[in-house]
């Protein structure tokens, strides 16, 4: 059955490449990654982290979502993926995207959800609900 999966993946590569091309054709690409464990991965301990990266972009009304597995969280993964991209790159502030975000033709922007979390952390020290600068910032950003 593993051979079936490998053969299916090979035959889907033109489809994945078309998705990648359409994703980069839009005005903005959003990227993030999440850790996962892969058991029995060649050359890695079962406790080591690998990463699933997700990129979203393309036509705003019909976006493309592309999931890609990588053994590391290295900046080279983002650099390679975005090598020929021009437009806005939205990330969560992880430094692994900084180099790609500094390429000519790319405008690296942040994520309001991540900024908003910091204000929630800051407001936890406030005794009175709805008071203080943190609450004001949260209201401006929106729920």
- pLDDT band for position 41 (50/70/90)? confident
Residues 66, 16 within the same domain: yes
SS3 67: strand
Q: Are 82 and 55 in contact (CB under 8 A)?
A: no
Residues 104, 119 within the same domain: no
Residues 98, 42 within the same domain: yes
Provide the pLDDT for residue 80.
Answer: 93
Give the range of the structural domain holding residue 142, as residue numbers without chain letter. Answer: 112-143
Q: Are 34 and 50 in contact (CB under 8 A)?
A: no
Average pLDDT over all residues of the chain: 88
84-130: pLDDT as tens digits:
999 999 999 889 999 999 999 999 998 888 888 888 777 766 555 55
pTM here?
0.80
> Strands 62-70 and 87-90, how do they pair?
unpaired
Residues 121, 77 within the same domain: no
Mean pLDDT, residues 45-67 taken together: 93
Q: Say which CATH number the domain at 10 has.
A: 3.30.420
- pLDDT band for position 135 (50/70/90)? confident
Question: Is residue 47 scored above 90 in pLDDT?
Answer: no
CA separation for the pair 100, 95 (Å, rounded) = 10
Other C-beta atoms lying within 10 Å of the C-beta of residue 72: 14
Residues 104, 116 within the same domain: no
Residues 35, 102 within the same domain: yes
Q: Are 88 and 28 in contact (CB under 8 A)?
A: yes
Number of domains making up the chain: 2
Provide the pLDDT for residue 130.
Answer: 54
């Amino acid at each position: 059955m593993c051979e079936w999966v490998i053969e299916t993946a090979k035959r889907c590569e033109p489809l994945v490449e078309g998705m990648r091309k359409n994703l980069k054709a839009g005005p903005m690409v959003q990227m993030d990654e999440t850790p996962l464990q892969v058991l029995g991965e060649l050359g890695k301990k079962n406790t080591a982290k690998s990463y699933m990266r997700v990129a979203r972009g393309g036509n705003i009304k019909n976006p493309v979502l592309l999931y890609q597995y990588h053994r590391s969280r290295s900046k080279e993964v983002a650099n390679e993926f975005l090598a020929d991209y021009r437009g806005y790159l939205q990330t969560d502030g992880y430094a692994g995207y900084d180099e790609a975000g500094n390429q000519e033709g790319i405008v690296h922007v942040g994520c309001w959800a991540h900024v908003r979390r910091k204000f929630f952390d800051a407001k936890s020290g406030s005794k009175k609900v709805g008071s203080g600068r943190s609450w004001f910032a949260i209201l401006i950003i929106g729920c």
